Amino acid sequence: MGDERTTIARVGIDGFNLALPHGTGVATYGFALAEAVRSLGLPVEGLFGVPVGRDPRIQEILFYEALGRGLPSRRGPAWLRPIMERATVLRGLKVQEVTESGRIERGGFVDRLPRFDRLLSSAHLFDHAEGHFRRTRRFLDLHIPDPPAIMHWTYPIPVRLAGARNLYTLHDLVPLKLPFATLDRKRFYHRLVERCVQDADHIVTVSESSRRDIIELLGVPEDRVSNTYQHTPMPVGLDEEADVEAIFGVKPKGYFLFFGAIEPKKNVARLVEAYLSTDTPHPLVLVGARGWQKEEELRLVEAMARRGGKAGARIIQLDYLPRRLVMQLVRYARAVLFPSLYEGFGLPVLEAMQLGTPVVTSNRGSLPEVAGNAALVVDPYDVPALTAAIALVDRDAELRATLEYAGRVQATRFSLGEHRRRLHALYTKVLASPAR
């Protein structure tokens, strides 16, 4: 790594998504970011919003309890919370350093929580920051002893760490590009990302597609937005062969797979319609937590299930699964089908290519950028085109073999080494520029 090392003392990463019991794409990004920073030889610090109390004897216990069970609800009646929240902010948020003793059995967190050189937490930090931003339209200034040189926020979080260069990752601007497809409160979101741009020392994103959107929609100067892309770490133990037939009742290379949130942006309704229009005997496995408008997205699936017969049996629905099991399903799928309407990056496409699984995806947003020439790319609104692509990859073994090889090659463009190289260039540039 020689020339990729830098003189930065430490890099901070927020735990906003890492603390969620069920991971998200942003949580995967946070994990990958920590891994890439550490591979540069730099200490990594984690900043969480978990209540850990003031007793150092049990802070570590309370931290891992919250990560395992979900963050506890804030106390008090709903009408009183804004008042309590404002008082807490005015008094100054208390940030506790959590000492990791090594006595906690950490095996269940190995694939979702990076190793940190310093672990900090402030109770309900991110809730307090959002409330403060709603009231004042300003980011919450947070002060900690001996701050890292760079605080790399993995999401547009309305907090600014004093004494550090603050970088904010905007993965996409989907709420502004597809306002009908998300539940975000659009005025609040627009105000938030505009303030991110105003307060940030630099804006980070994960594709050229998202970078163009940020420049065009938010009016950000080109030299203040950097695309680092990202890599995706594979779970520990994935090389061990899993019996997907015994666990899920599907034969290796004998099923199609969609994985991701069941919500309008993911285009599941059109995917199901296209799949059912083929005559493939191979089932479609849908893996993902049911999100907004799930009933609309799965209406056809439910109708087929009620009618019974072969059509209803062709689709298998699975709720949230641990990442390791999802990746095993990806590895043994006949093809991954991911015709999303818009993505800032498109982790499922990269994960499938990395594991040598053919991909059918969309020509919108960042997806053609990530897929390159290593996938079948179609208009996500064109159901007949999607049907034809599924049928083609199903019947053509030579095409599948070509896509498997091409996918592995394309995935190397998004390796840990490439991510590290881009981060090094970014951090060097930021530290060489005047602080805002």
Sign of CA dihedral 291, 47, 28, 372: positive
419: tokens are 């991510």
- Tell me: do 297 and 409 sit in the same domain: yes
Per-residue model confidence as pLDDT tens digits over 68-109: 886 555 555 554 455 555 555 545 688 999 999 989 998 888
pLDDT at 290 over 50: yes
3-state secondary structure the chain: CHHHCCCCCCEEEECCCCCCCCCCHHHHHHHHHHHHHHHCCCCEEEEECCCCCCCCCCHHHHHHHHHHHCCCCCCCCHHHHHHHHHHHHHHCCCCEEECCCCCCCCHHHCCCCCCCCEEEECCCHHHHHHHHHHHHCCCEEECCCCCCCEEEECCCCCEEECCCEEEEECCCCHHHHCHHHCCCCHHHHHHHHHHHHHHCCEEEECCHHHHHHHHHHHCCCHHHEEECCCCCCCCCCCCCCCCHHHHHCCCCCCCEEEECCECHHHCHHHHHHHHHCCCCCCCEEEECCECCCHHHHCHHHHHHHHHCHHHHHCEEEECCCCHHHHHHHHHHCCEEEECCCCCCCCHHHHHHHHCCCCEEEECCCCHHHHHCCCCEEECCCCHHHHHHHHHHHHHCHHHHHHHHHHHHHHHHHHCHHHHHHHHHHHHHHHHHCCCC
Give yes or no: residues 277 and 361 share one domain. Answer: yes
Q: How much of the chain, in percent, has pLDDT values that exceed 70? A: 86
> 286 and 346 in one domain?
yes
Query: What pLDDT score does 91 carry?
Result: 55
Q: How many domains does the chain have?
A: 2
Label residue 9 by pLDDT band (50, 70, 90): confident
pTM for this prediction: 0.91
Q: Residue 48 falls within a domain, yes or no?
A: yes
Residues 176 and 260 placed together within one structural domain of the fold: no
**pLDDT of 58 strictly over 80:** yes
Q: Compute the average pLDDT of residues 382-394.
A: 98
Residues 156 and 178 in one domain: yes
| For residues 111-116, average pLDDT | 90
* Residues 115-156 pLDDT 10s: 999 999 999 999 999 999 999 999 999 999 999 999 999 999
Q: Do 48 and 188 fall into the same domain?
A: yes
Q: Is residue 213 part of a domain?
A: yes
237 found inside a domain: no
Q: What is the pLDDT of residue 109?
A: 84
275 in a structural domain: yes
Per-residue pLDDT at 372 exceeds 80: yes
The percentage of the chain sitting over the pLDDT mark of 90, rounded to a whole number, equals: 73
The pLDDT of 165-193, averaged and rounded, is 95
Domain-located, residue 238 = no
Query: Residue 200: inside a domain, yes or no?
Result: yes
Q: What is the pLDDT of residue 69?
A: 80
Which pLDDT score is estimated for 239? 62
Q: Is residue 151 part of a domain?
A: yes
Please check whether residues 158 and 51 belong to one and the same domain.
yes
Instruction: Tell me if 239 is assigned to some domain.
Output: no
Domain coverage including residue 350: 244-413
The pLDDT assigned to 152 comes to: 98
Q: For 331, how many CA atoms within 13 A lie in the half-sphere containing its CB?
A: 16
Residues 59 and 37 both lie in one domain: yes
Residues 168 and 203 in one domain: yes
**Same-domain pairing of 299 and 209:** no
The Cα–Cα gap between 361 and 380 comes to 8
Higher-confidence residue of 322 and 385: namely 385
146 and 281 assigned to the same domain:
no
Q: Are residues 385 and 262 in the same domain?
A: yes
Q: pLDDT category, 8, cuts 50, 70, 90?
A: low
What's the whole-number mean pLDDT along residues 362-366? Answer: 98
At 134, which CATH number? 3.40.50.2000
- pLDDT score recorded for residue 270: 93
pLDDT winner (highest mean) among 12-26, 243-257, 300-314, 388-402: 388-402
Give yes or no for residue 63 having a pLDDT over 90: yes
